[in-house]
C-alpha cells in the first residue's frame, strides 16, 4: 500500500516522523488527476514543518492528534524538521515523487513555475481568506495564481545585551553604520567580548546580505528586475567584510548560526546581533536573567530606517492522493483562533490573521507596534522563481568573501548572473 511505501522512504531519509496508523483507501481521481472526495472516503495528508524551537514539535503533534479526533477519516502524517536540514529533506521527498501535501517553508515560486503546486484559492475557505492580513498575501502569487498562505511572520531588529552596553557606556542601540562600528569596537576593547554577531552560514546569509543591501540604499530588485550587483549592494557587503577584518564581529560568521549567537549573547559573550522578534519569546526562556533591549537595523548615514519583514508560508504540492476538501479542513483547523494564538505566543511570531492580531494588540503595545511596522516592511522576493537559486548560490559564498577567495563584486556578479539565467 502507498502508506507503507511512504514510511519506508521516510525511514531511508532518516527524518523523524509521527506516524499514525489509519489505512488509506477509497480515493477516486477526478478529471484533473487530483483525487476527489467521496462520502466517508478516508483521506491522507502528509505535512512537513520546520522546527522553530523545542516547543514546535509538541505543538504540531497535539494539533494533529486533535484534528484526527475531530476528523477520524483523515490521517495526517507529520514531520517536524530542523531548519538546517529542512531543504534537503523536502527536496529528497520531491525527487522521489513523494512531495508533502503541505509544506511550511520560506521559498515556493520555483515549485509553482514547475507546475508542482495546488492553487491555494481552491483550498482556502472564504472565512479563512477573510482573516488573513492582505499585506502578507502580496507575495503569495506567481503568474496570477495564489500558491501560498502566510503562517509565521516576524520583523527583524537589532537586539543587544543591555548589561554589556551599560557596562561599557553605550547609551543605546546603534542606528547608523558608523555607530555600529564604534559600538562594536568599544565592546571589544572594554569588555573583551565580541561586538556584533554576524550569521553568514548557509541558513541565514541572505538575511545579512539583505540588511546591508537595503542599509546601503540597494536591494535585491529594482523596478521589477534583479539588481544584485549594484554599487550600493557592493558597498554594503564591503562594509560587512570590513567589520569582520577589523575583528568587530564574532570570529566565526560562517560557522555559528543566529540561534547559537543568541545563546552566546545570553551568556554575556556577545554585545549585539540582528534577529527576529521571536528572540523576545525564546531567549528569555533560556536566559531568564538576561537584560536585553532592541533598536532598528543600522543603515548607512542618510538612508531611510530599515524594517525587514520575514514570513514562512504554506504551500500544497500536487500528489497522487490530493484531497482538497480534507486540506481545506486542515487549514481551517490550523488557523482556528485559539490554536493559532497559542502558536504565535509559543514561538514569538507576529500573527498573520486579523482576529488574533487585533486581540493580542489590544493588551500588548509591542505587538501593536510590530503589526504596524510590518505593514511598511520590505520582504524577500519569494514570489520570483529565481529566488531559490539565488539563495542556494549565496549559501556557500560567505567564507569565500570573508577569506578573500572572491571579492564582493565577484560574488554579487555571480548571484546576478544566476538570477538572470533562472529568470528566463
| pLDDT tier, 2 (very low <50, low <70, confident <90, very high otherwise) | very low
C-alpha distances out from residue 6 to 9, 19, 81, 318, Å: 5, 10, 17, 16
Is residue 81 pLDDT above 80, yes or no? Answer: yes
Please give the grid coordinates belonging to residue 395: 549559501
C-alpha distances out from residue 72 to 60, 66, 102, 185, Å: 17, 10, 19, 60
- The closest alpha carbon to 249, from 312, 181, 177, belongs to 181
CA distance 415 to 162: 37
State residue 285's pLDDT score. 84
- Asked if residues 30 and 36 have their Cβ atoms less than 8 Å apart, the reply is yes
Lowest model confidence (mean pLDDT) among 14-28, 34-48, 257-271: 14-28
Residue with the larger pLDDT of the pair 329 and 286: 329
**Per-residue pLDDT tens over the stretch 350-370:** 999 999 999 999 999 999 999
133-162 mean pLDDT: 96
- The closest alpha carbon to 247, from 177, 200, 298, 194, belongs to 194
**Per-residue pLDDT tens over the stretch 91-132:** 999 999 999 999 999 999 999 999 999 999 999 999 999 999
Lowest model confidence (mean pLDDT) among 10-19, 189-198, 231-240, 316-325: 10-19
Is residue 387 pLDDT above 80, yes or no? Answer: yes
Residue with the larger pLDDT of the pair 410 and 22: 410
In sequence order, the β-bridge partners of residue 275 are: 157
State residue 341's pLDDT score. 98
- Asked if residues 106 and 380 have their Cβ atoms less than 8 Å apart, the reply is yes
Question: 289 in helix, strand or coil?
Answer: coil
248-266 mean pLDDT: 95
403-423 mean pLDDT: 97
CA distance 215 to 235: 10
- Asked if residues 249 and 266 have their Cβ atoms less than 8 Å apart, the reply is no
Is residue 37 pLDDT above 90, yes or no? Answer: no
Predicted TM-score (pTM) of this structure: 0.87
Burial class (CB in 10 A: 0-12, 13-18, 19+), 91: exposed
- Asked if residues 135 and 375 have their Cβ atoms less than 8 Å apart, the reply is yes
Please give the grid coordinates belonging to residue 184: 562594536
**Per-residue pLDDT tens over the stretch 47-76:** 999 999 899 999 999 999 999 999 999 999
185-201 mean pLDDT: 95
Maximum Cα–Cα distance across the chain: 71
Residues of the chain above pLDDT 90, percent: 84
Mean pLDDT across the chain: 90
Is residue 7 pLDDT above 90, yes or no? Answer: no
Is residue 205 pLDDT above 90, yes or no? Answer: yes
232-259 mean pLDDT: 96
Block residue for cell numbers 546580505? 209
**Helix (H), strand (E) counts: the chain:** 18, 14
State residue 140's pLDDT score. 96
- Domain residue limits, the chain: 2-153+310-368, 154-309+381-423
State residue 284's pLDDT score. 82
User: In this structure, what DSSP letter does residue 122 have?
Assistant: G
C-alpha distances out from residue 196 to 113, 193, 243, 250, Å: 39, 9, 9, 6
Q: Which class is domain 2-153+310-368?
A: alpha beta
Q: Which class is domain 154-309+381-423?
A: alpha beta
- Asked if residues 367 and 400 have their Cβ atoms less than 8 Å apart, the reply is no
C-alpha distances out from residue 286 to 265, 282, 349, Å: 11, 7, 17
State residue 40's pLDDT score. 57
State residue 112's pLDDT score. 98
The torsion of the CA quartet 385, 387, 390, 392, rounded to 10 degrees, works out to -90
State residue 192's pLDDT score. 84
277-287 mean pLDDT: 87
Is residue 380 pLDDT above 70, yes or no? Answer: yes
Fold: same for 2-153+310-368 and 154-309+381-423: yes
Is residue 31 pLDDT above 80, yes or no? Answer: no
Amino acid at each position: 500500500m502507498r502508506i507503507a511505501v511512504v514510511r519506508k522512504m521516510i525511514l531511508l531519509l532518516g527524518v523523524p516522523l509521527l506516524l499514525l496508523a489509519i489505512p488509506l483507501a477509497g480515493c477516486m481521481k477526478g478529471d484533473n488527476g487530483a483525487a476527489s472526495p467521496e462520502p466517508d472516503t478516508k483521506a491522507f495528508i502528509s505535512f512537513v514543518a520546520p522546527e522553530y524551537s523545542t516547543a514546535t514539535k509538541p505543538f504540531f503533534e497535539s494539533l494533529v492528534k486533535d484534528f484526527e479526533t475531530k476528523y477520524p477519516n483523515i490521517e495526517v502524517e507529520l514531520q517536524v524538521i530542523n531548519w538546517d536540514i529542512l531543504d534537503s529533506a523536502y527536496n529528497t521527498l520531491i525527487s522521489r515523487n513523494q512531495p508533502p501535501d503541505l509544506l511550511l517553508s520560506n521559498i515556493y515560486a520555483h515549485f509553482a513555475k514547475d507546475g508542482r503546486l495546488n492553487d491555494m484559492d481552491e483550498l482556502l475557505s472564504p472565512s479563512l481568506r477573510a482573516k488573513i492580513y492582505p499585506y502578507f498575501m502580496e507575495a503569495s502569487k506567481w503568474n496570477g495564481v495564489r500558491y501560498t498562505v502566510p503562517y509565521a511572520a516576524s520583523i527583524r531588529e537589532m537586539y543587544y545585551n543591555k548589561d554589556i552596553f551599560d557596562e561599557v557606556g553605550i547609551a543605546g542601540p546603534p542606528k547608523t553604520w558608523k555607530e555600529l562600528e564604534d559600538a562594536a569596537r568599544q565592546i571589544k576593547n572594554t569588555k573583551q567580548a565580541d561586538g556584533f554577531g554576524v550569521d553568514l552560514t548557509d541558513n541565514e546569509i541572505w538575511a545579512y546580505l539583505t540588511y546591508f543591501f537595503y542599509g546601503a540604499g540597494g536591494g535585491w530588485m529594482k523596478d521589477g528586475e534583479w539588481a544584485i550587483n549594484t554599487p550600493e549592494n557592493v558597498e554594503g557587503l564591503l562594509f560587512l567584510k570590513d567589520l569582520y577584518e577589523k575583528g568587530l564581529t564574532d570570529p566565526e560568521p560562517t560557522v555559528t548560526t543566529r540561534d547559537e549567537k543568541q545563546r552566546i549573547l545570553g551568556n554575556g559573550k556577545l554585545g549585539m546581533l540582528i534577529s527576529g522578534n521571536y528572540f523576545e519569546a525564546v531567549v528569555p526562556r533560556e536566559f531568564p536573567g538576561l537584560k536585553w533591549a532592541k533598536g532598528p537595523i543600522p543603515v548607512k548615514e542618510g538612508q531611510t530606517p530599515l524594517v525587514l519583514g520575514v514570513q514562512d508560508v504554506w504551500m500544497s504540492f500536487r500528489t497522487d492522493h490530493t484531497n482538497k476538501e480534507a486540506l481545506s479542513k486542515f487549514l481551517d483547523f490550523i488557523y482556528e483562533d485559539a490554536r493559532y494564538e497559542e502558536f504565535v505566543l509559543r514561538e514569538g511570531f507576529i500573527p498573520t490573521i486579523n482576529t488574533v492580531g487585533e486581540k493580542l494588540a489590544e493588551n500588548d503595545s509591542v505587538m501593536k507596534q510590530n503589526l504596524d511596522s510590518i505593514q511598511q516592511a520590505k520582504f524577500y522576493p519569494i514570489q520570483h522563481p529565481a529566488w531559490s537559486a539565488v539563495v542556494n548560490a549565496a549559501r556557500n559564498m560567505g567564507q569565500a568573501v570573508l577569506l578573500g577567495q572572491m571579492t564582493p563584486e565577484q560574488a554579487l556578479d555571480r548571484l546576478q548572473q544566476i538570477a538572470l539565467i533562472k529568470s528566463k
